[in-house]
Chain A
């Protein structure tokens, strides 16, 4: 988890921002097979601080983010990957940005009056 944990190849905890994707890697993290769950993401921040790290809802959130990382790695790191994987990268980037924006709006709506009304 960002903000809390320190990778064995770093000297201080990974710092991310609400603008980073829900799960994140730098190239050095990719080389060490490390994914960061962005604790600065509004949704993660809400669940973690409101319900705590031992809550079931946090456990579900973590599992979903692990799955996100695994799916992304499978789509870009398998033996089928050739030199021209940019279409996949484009789609994954687009998905990551859309997820981040959606979650931000979702939480903002919830903070406003305790209910979710999202209109496109």
Chain B
């Protein structure tokens, strides 16, 4: 219960999730129960805090624009009312816990793997191949979809999350390269240099400009109860 004295309610939700499901998905209802069991004074129904949970308190932290799904991105939404911890969430949970350096290092690798997959997708995709083969005029919206992992039916939220993931992946690997490494090898098969990352940013701008109308349309869509509107 030492956590409760020093951490915010958002962090309590994070720790409740981390303790039960560090590597698997869980439902919103399961999270409500886990939060209440771990911190009954904070997540219990007013006047009955040790008998019943107050789901609304937990929902406030996992739904909406200020939630730990949208703002801090500690959790990711897998489907309607199903969630999982993100690498950033696991990292923050470990930071709160003050893990020893060995575990933190293991965690660092997990984060790298997440960004590694994002970059691997981009660097083996058709948009990147066209850039490398001087076929930039042949870029199609399908290439842009593969680049950001979106589709013509994606919502604005999905599109923004995809852009954010790629930007974070690029900046993470750039930081690694700034530390004196000339190249990084992704999944033991794709080498990436600072020049590649700069070219990736150029390609992203090109796709952004070329498919502005399509991307604007996607940006304006929102997901309400799992349906794009």
- A-to-B contact residues, CB < 8 Å: 17, 19-21, 24-31, 72-73, 76-86, 89-90, 92-93, 96-97
CB distance from A7 to the nearest CB of B (A): 14
- Say yes or no: A96 contacts B142, CB within 8 Å: yes
Q: Which residues of B contact A (CB under 8 A)?
A: 69, 76-80, 82, 121, 126, 138, 140-142, 145-146, 149-155, 157-158, 161-162, 214, 217-218, 223, 225-228
28 contacts across the A-B interface (CB closer than 8 A) = A21-B142, A24-B142, A25-B152, A26-B214, A27-B218, A30-B152, A76-B151, A77-B153, A77-B227, A78-B226, A80-B80, A81-B80, A81-B223, A82-B77, A82-B79, A82-B82, A82-B223, A83-B69, A83-B161, A84-B76, A84-B77, A84-B161, A85-B158, A86-B158, A86-B162, A92-B151, A93-B142, A93-B149
- A19-B140, A86-B150 are known; give 16 further A-B pairs, CB within 8 A: A20-B140, A24-B142, A26-B152, A26-B214, A29-B152, A77-B227, A77-B228, A79-B225, A82-B79, A82-B82, A84-B77, A84-B78, A93-B142, A93-B146, A97-B142, A97-B146
Kindly count the residue-residue contacts between A and B in the assembled complex, taking CB atoms under 8 Å apart. 89
Q: A73-B153, A93-B145 are in contact. Are A83 and B223 (CB under 8 A)?
A: yes
Q: Flag if A82 contacts B78 (CB, 8 Å).
A: yes
Nearest A residue (CB) for B125: A93
Closest to B157 in A: A83
Q: Are B145 and A30 in contact (CB under 8 A)?
A: no
Bound-state CA distance A49–B87 (Å) is 52
Contact A20 B145 (CB under 8 A): no
User: What chain B residues lie within 8 Å of A26 (beta carbons)?
Assistant: 141, 152, 214
B122 CB to nearest chain A CB (Å):
11
Closest B residue to A92 by beta carbon equals: B151
Which among A77, A80, A90 is the interface contact of B121 at CB below 8 angstroms? A90
Residue pair A83, B153 in contact (C-beta under 8 Å): no
Contact residues in A for B149 (Cβ distance below 8 Å) = 86, 89-90, 93
Chain A: minimal CB distance from B72 (Å): 15
CB nearest to A31 among chain B residues: B217
Contacts of B223 in A (CB 8 A): 81-83
Distance between B161 CB and nearest chain A CB, rounded to angstroms: 6
Task: Give CA–CA (A10, B121) in the complex, Å.
Answer: 33
Bound: A57/B76 CA distance, A? 45
Residues on A with C-beta less than 8 A from B69 are 83
Tell me if B142 and A80 are in contact (CB < 8 A).
no
Report A-chain residues with C-beta under 8 Å of the C-beta of B214. 26-28
The docked-state distance in angstroms from the alpha carbon of A80 to that of B154 is 13
**Contact yes or no, A19 B76, CB < 8 A:** no
Q: Which of A31, A73, A76, A89 has the most CB of B within 10 A?
A: A89
